[in-house]
Amino acid sequence: MPSAGSLARMRSWNTAMAVSPGVLDLSVAPSDVEGVVPEVLRGGRVLSNGPGWTVIGGRTAHPFDGHGYVRSFRFTRDGGLELRARFVQTPTYAAEREAGKLVHRGFATNVSDHFWDNLGFGPRRNVANTTVTRWGDRLLAGWEAGAPYSLELESLETRGEEHFGGVLDGKATLAHMRKDRDRLVLCSLEQARHATFTFREVDENGEICATHIAQLDGMVFAHDYALTPNWFVLGGNPLRMRPWQLVRTLMGMGTLLGSIATDQRKPGQLCLVPRGDGELRRVQLPGPLFVVHFGNAFERDGDLIVDVCAFSDFPFGEEFGFTGPHSEFDPSLPEIRGPQRLLRITVPAGSDVATWEPLTRYGVDFPCFHPHHEGRETPMLFGATRRDIRYSDPFDSVIGVDLVDRERPDDLWTAPDNVFVGEPLYAPDLHRDGGGQGHILAILSDGLAERTHLAIFDAQDLASGPVASVPLPLLPIAFHGDWEPAEG
C-alpha cells in the first residue's frame, strides 16, 4: 500500500498537472508579496508556456498534446505583479473547445478508446505548448513539429502561425529557439531515410539572413541544440521504429510516441553543423547518450566544449508520469528510468572523438545561464533538480553549478514537501556583467494548497531561499519560458 507521503505527492502532482484556470487577468499588490521584488527586476516579466488543458472531455491527453497556455508575469514598478494568461488559439484548440472533447490525434494521444475513431491522423495537431520567446514585435509560442505561433506582445492574443515569409510553411520546426545576439535561430527537421536539419538565422526585422542544411543517417530525436560562432551542435540520438507498435498505431490502437525507441545499437554521438563553409562533423562519445536539453557551448583554443543534460536511454510515452487517458499521472514513474546527467563534453580541435566529465552528482534538467553568454564561456549554470541524487524529475530543487571553481560545492535550494519546481530562468543584472550576478526565477507548484508561487532567488546564494515570492492561484505545470527585461 502506498504511504501517506507518496499519496500526498501524487495528489499534489495530479492537481497541478490537470488544473485549467483558463483566461486570467489579475494583479498582486506589493503588500501581498512575500519579501521584496528587487528593483532591477521591476518592469520586466517572466514568460511561460505549457499545456493548460489536458483533461479534455473526460479523457486525459499526454502533456505533449495539451493546449498551449501562455502566461505573462510582469513585475510592476511598485513591486507588485500583473499576471495575464491566454490559450494559444490554434485550429486544434478551437475545434476541441467547440466539440468539448478530443478531435485530433497527437504524438501520444488518441481521441477514443475505439480504434476506428483513431484511424488516420488528419490535420497536424500543432498545440503551440512548449516554448515562448520574444522576437521583435511578437512573442513566438513553439511546438515540436510545426511552425511557431505568433502572439501579440502584451495582450497575448494569437496572430497565427509564423512562417517568416513562407519558409516555415509545412515545416516541422523544433520548439526550442536560440538567440545569438541580434539573431534568432530556428531549426526544422525532416525525417525520412535521412534526417535533414535546416537551421535558419532570422534578423531583428524577421528576415532570413542565413540558412544551413545538414543530413544525418537514419531517424534521430531532436528537441534542442546548442550553438557557437562556428557550429550548431546536435545530439546524435538515434531512434528505431518498434514495428508491432507502429502497426498498432496505424490501426488506431497505439500512438506515434509509443512506436519509437532509442537505438542502443549505435554509439553516442554529437553532430557538428558548420555555420559557414565546412563539412558536417560526427563526434564519437565515450558511450550511449540521449541528449534532451543543451546548456551552453563555446570554443576555447580550437576545442569545442558543450554542456548537456542527458540520459543513457529514454523510454518514450511516460513523460511527466503519464499512464494513459483514464489514469492519474504517476510522479514516481520517471524515477524508474533514472536521472539525467549534467555532463561537460570536450571535443579537441580537429578530433572526431570526445571526452566527458560530470559537472555535478545531481540529476539536472532545464539548464540556464546568462543569456548574453550564448555561444561563449559563462561562469555559472543553473537548473532544476532533485535533492535525492538518485532521481531528477519531477523536480523539487533549484541548483547552481560553478563552472570556473570546480571545487565549490553546488548551490542548492529545496522546496517544501510536495511542492514542485519548474524551469529556472536567469535574469541578469545588466549593470554587472560578471555572469553570476542576477536573479533566478522559478515557478513553484503546490497542488495540495492549490497555489503557485513565483520565487525569486539571488543567483549567488540560492541556498538561502527566495528573496521574494509572489503568491498566485494554482497554474498548470509549464514546460519552458523566457525572461524579458524592462525596456528603457
Taking Cα atoms as reference points, which of 93, 91, 90, 89 lies closest to residue 102?
A: 93
Strands, DSSP E only, in 319-406?
341-347, 355-368, 380-385, 397-402
Alpha carbon distance 26, 452 (integer Å)? 14
Taking Cα atoms as reference points, which of 437, 474, 440 lies closest to residue 457?
A: 440
**What local confidence, expressed as pLDDT, does residue 1 receive?**
55
> What are the phi and psi torsion angles at 439 (to 5°)?
-135, 150
Alpha carbon distance 375, 381 (integer Å)? 13
Secondary structure string (H, E, C) spanning 276-342: CCCCCEEEECCCCCEEEEEEEEEEECCEEEEEEEEECCCCCCCHHHCCCCCCCCCCCHHHHCCCCEE
**What local confidence, expressed as pLDDT, does residue 301 receive?**
94
Give the SS3 label for residue 395: coil
Alpha carbon distance 141, 162 (integer Å)? 9
End-to-end Cα separation, the chain, in angstroms: 58
Determine how many CB atoms are found less than 10 A away from the CB of residue 27.
11
**What local confidence, expressed as pLDDT, does residue 448 receive?**
97
Question: Bridge-partner residues for 421, per DSSP?
Answer: 444
Alpha carbon distance 464, 459 (integer Å)? 10
Q: Cis peptide leading into 286, omega within 30 of 0?
A: no
**What local confidence, expressed as pLDDT, does residue 167 receive?**
87
Alpha carbon distance 139, 154 (integer Å)? 9
Residues 6+ apart with CB under 8 A from 142: 49, 128, 130, 131, 132, 133, 148, 173, 174, 175, 176, 177
**306 in Cβ contact with 320 (< 8 Å):** no
Taking Cα atoms as reference points, which of 190, 192, 152 lies closest to residue 170?
A: 190
Alpha carbon distance 472, 106 (integer Å)? 31
Taking Cα atoms as reference points, which of 396, 393, 436, 423 lies closest to residue 412?
A: 396
**What local confidence, expressed as pLDDT, does residue 129 receive?**
97
DSSP annotation of 488 reads: -
Could you tell me the pTM of the whole model? 0.95
**457 in Cβ contact with 33 (< 8 Å):** no
Residues 6+ apart with CB under 8 A from 276: 230
Taking Cα atoms as reference points, which of 438, 441, 437 lies closest to residue 424?
A: 441
Q: Which three cell numbers stand for residue 166?
A: 513562407
Alpha carbon distance 189, 286 (integer Å)? 26
Q: Which three cell numbers stand for residue 51?
A: 499545456
Q: Which three cell numbers stand for residue 372?
A: 548574453
Residues 6+ apart with CB under 8 A from 292: 223, 224, 309, 310, 311, 314, 340, 365
For 118-183, give the DSSP string.
SSS--S------SEEEEETTEEEEE-TTSPPEEE-TTT--EEEE--TTTTTTT--B-S--EEETTE
Q: What is the pLDDT along the chain (488 residues), one digit of tens a residue?
A: 567 778 999 999 999 999 999 999 999 999 999 999 999 999 999 999 999 999 999 999 999 999 999 999 999 999 999 999 999 999 999 999 999 999 999 999 999 999 989 988 788 899 999 999 999 999 999 999 899 999 999 999 999 999 998 888 888 899 999 999 899 999 999 988 889 999 999 999 889 999 999 999 889 999 999 999 999 999 999 999 999 999 999 999 999 999 999 998 888 999 999 998 888 999 999 999 999 999 999 999 999 999 999 998 888 989 999 999 999 999 999 888 888 999 999 999 989 999 999 999 999 999 999 999 999 999 999 999 999 999 989 999 999 999 999 999 999 999 999 999 999 999 998 776 555 589 999 999 999 999 999 999 999 999 999 999 999 999 999 999 999 999 86
**180 in Cβ contact with 193 (< 8 Å):** no
Cα atoms in the Cβ-side hemisphere of radius 13 Å centred on 109? 26
